[in-house]
Amino acid sequence: MNYNSFLNKEISDFLSLEVPGFPEPPQGRKVIMFSEGRPNFSRFPLDKALPYVQEVFKTEYQTMLQYPPIKGNPELMKELRKLMEKYVSLKGTEDDDMIIMSGSQQALYMVSRILVDPGDYIVVERPTYLEAIFAFTYNKAKMLGVNQDENGMKTDELETLLRKLKSEGKRIKFVYTVPNYQNPSGATLPMERRKHLYELASQYDFLIFEDDAYCYLSYEGKALPAIKSLDTEGRVIFTSTLSKILSPGLRIGWVFANKEIVKALLAAKEVIDLGVSGISQYLATIWLRNGIHEEFLKIAIPWYKQKRDIMLEMLDELFRNDAHWTKPKGGLFIYVQFNNKKVNTQKLLEYAKKKGVLFVSGQPFYHDFSVLNTIRLNFSMPTEDEIKEGIRLLKEAYDEYLSS
Ligand code: PMP
């Protein structure tokens, strides 16, 4: 069968995109993985979490095995509201509402699905979360990029861009931002920039799509208040997820936004999947209610922080003259930019693979794939010894690559 004449244009266009991929680990050989973006569950408090699995099935099985409410389980929403208030000082207004999503990935897809007509302009950070680029591309948004420095998106640059667009009679639908411990950069958007971004949204009449997956993983005190907490006009669509705090396997994320936006998402979600798994929602509720996430964070935060520090020390020892990098206050990633603009990290990866260490080239995190001399390093998955050894191997690979 040749399916080319059956697949529609939307998916055919998407499939034909040439996206620089993530590295596959070589078969049958141990490699040090700095390339993952996952939480490390080797210390998940299973002994504490497991009894609740049985308890929730015993008490709730009639409801949890049923079709869930499409919008989500109200008890879960109560717990999520507590999380938002505790971690990012977010309460919202009376006009705000919530909908449970299958991970915040579904929020990325659905929010752009309901807002973007093909060819509409949106703004993304350079670099930004790769899967968000995919969702926006699939929904045919035209992405414009605003650069980051060590403090995240340069809102002055955004202002210049908005002015220019306005003079050309163009508008943007939304700005997508990951303000805390960004993926991939690790940067945090300071309060002044959050305010500036919100003022610009008001002035130039666009929405802000705030994706906060990492606010729970703070290593230097509490995360800053969400941009959504500044929102008096209903301009901010906030999404977050349980993936980094409990489990990505639950596939639970949510959107917290003005009720008109939630109404549109609800209509679209009914068509797409009739709601998120009730089993996941009930399990998440009982775990959150009984503080399993806090038990996990109590272990994960000092542990990840220690690994971050070791990685920073190793980079300082070995790459001081060749590169600069972010010093993230939370999250899972350090982002390295080589001083030499000609470094092609996709090629460097081939050398690193041979040495037994993997990273992700920063290239796919740019909506135009235009930057080649950066890499994203994850510190949550490797052990402390692997971090030391891995950065050493990376340096050897880098030297070999340069002298080739
Ligand atoms: N947004 C960002 C910035 C992420 O890093 C991730 C996960 N890596 C997601 C959204 C999606 O997470 P999930 O679908 O698991 O909730």
Taking alpha carbons only, the member of 376, 377, 380 closest to residue 127 is 376
- Residue 151: exposure state from Cβ atoms within 10 A (0-12, 13-18, ≥19): middle
What is residue 345's DSSP assignment? H
* Number of helices (H), then strands (E), in the chain: 12, 14
Q: How many CB atoms lie within 10 A of CB 182?
A: 29
pLDDT at 251 over 90: yes
Residue 211 alpha carbon to ligand 1 centre in Å: 8
Residue 216 alpha carbon to ligand 1 centre in Å: 13
Question: How far does the chain reach from its first CA to its final CA, in angstroms?
Answer: 45
pTM for the model stands at 0.96
Question: Which residue from 110, 182, 241 has its CB within 8 A of the most atoms of ligand 1, so it is best to mutate?
Answer: 241
Atom 2 of ligand 1 has which residue's CA nearest to it?
213
pLDDT tier at 108 (50, 70, 90 boundaries)? very high
pLDDT tier at 371 (50, 70, 90 boundaries)? very high
pLDDT recorded at residue 23? 76
AA identity, residue 325: W
Relative to the CA of 129, which ligand 1 atom is closest?
3
234 close to 286: Cβ distance less than 8 angstroms: no
Q: What are the tokens at 208?
A: 């802000």
Residues facing residue 143 across a β-bridge: 122
Atom 5 of ligand 1 has which residue's CA nearest to it?
183
181: left (phi over 0), alpha (psi -120 to 50) or beta: left
Distance CA 158, CA 148 (A): 10
160 close to 209: Cβ distance less than 8 angstroms: no
89 close to 319: Cβ distance less than 8 angstroms: no
For strand 360-361 and strand 207-211, is the pairing parallel, antiparallel, or unpaired?
unpaired
Atom 8 of ligand 1 has which residue's CA nearest to it?
37
Distance CA 30, CA 363 (A): 25
pLDDT at 28 over 90: no
Distance CA 343, CA 397 (A): 12
Residue 131 alpha carbon to ligand 1 centre in Å: 8
Mean predicted confidence (pLDDT) in 220-248: 96
Question: What ipTM does this complex have?
Answer: 0.98
Using CA atoms, how far residue 41 sits from 72, 97, 297, in Å, is 26, 32, 11
Mean predicted confidence (pLDDT) in 250-264: 98
Q: Which residues line ligand 1 (CB under 6 A)?
A: 37, 103-105, 129, 178, 183, 211, 213, 241, 243, 248, 253
Spacing of C-alpha 2 from chain mean position = 36
Neighbouring residues of 340: CB distance < 8 A, sequence distance ≥ 6? 322, 373, 402
Secondary structure (3-state) at 34: coil
* Residues above pLDDT 90, as percent of the chain: 92
Token pair 């960004």 is found at: 182
199 close to 227: Cβ distance less than 8 angstroms: no
130 close to 209: Cβ distance less than 8 angstroms: no
pLDDT at 25 over 90: no
Relative to the CA of 248, which ligand 1 atom is closest?
15
Residue 104 alpha carbon to ligand 1 centre in Å: 6
Residue 49 alpha carbon to ligand 1 centre in Å: 23
Relative to the CA of 106, which ligand 1 atom is closest?
14
35 close to 386: Cβ distance less than 8 angstroms: no
pLDDT recorded at residue 27? 77
Distance CA 341, CA 359 (A): 18
Distance CA 271, CA 103 (A): 17
Taking alpha carbons only, the member of 97, 386, 68, 99 closest to residue 228 is 97
193 close to 153: Cβ distance less than 8 angstroms: yes
pLDDT recorded at residue 340? 93
